[in-house]
Structure 1
């Protein structure tokens, strides 16, 4: 692996070549990579590397390096047995109001018939 060293001029800000910037930025995109660690390895400020990453994504460093290669992919359809879906009865927007003495019962939707019968028997005693 060749290391491209940045060109340094005494007393001035370094002028990093695009190849160096691209190499540093692409290293930060590797799985598990730490931007600050990679910046330290290349003797560059991490904030500068973050700016380079943004510029890289905007395409300011030219075309993507040729080291990126596409791999062949094969898509295989696998049949999946889905559980049978039980359809609920259609939603009803009706309201039943039962008043017995001081008690008032309001039922909305579609109640279970057995539960409704038990509640009404207790309410109307």
Structure 2
């Protein structure tokens, strides 16, 4: 088993990506630009968590978790735009938002842990 597979944050990111596929990408009214962007961003969350977990230096790990968190914010922004365009319902948006917020908090805690460790060593 790879290290990333043991992480709850990775498992949640995977669920988030699966929900994006089922609830958003399956919508025939979804514009191609939005489709491509949210697909890339949601995949990026899980992939950057995995890549960060596979790195040896704490700075590398931290950077990949920061990128994952940025990709997650991108997903939320796209979902917000899709809600404004009435492609995603308020109910679906809220359920995505709750999951994204959980993932974001988990990533933030991981990022802070690496920052605190580097401060203690200084």
TM over 0.5: no
Q: Which has the higher strand share?
A: 1
State the TM bucket, normalised to the shorter chain.
under 0.3
Q: Comparing both chains, which one has the higher relative contact order based on Cα–Cα distances under 8 Å and sequence gaps of 6 or more?
A: 2
Q: Which has the higher helix share?
A: 2
Q: Which has the larger radius of gyration?
A: 1
TM-score normalised to the size of structure 1? 0.24
TM-score normalised to the size of structure 2? 0.24
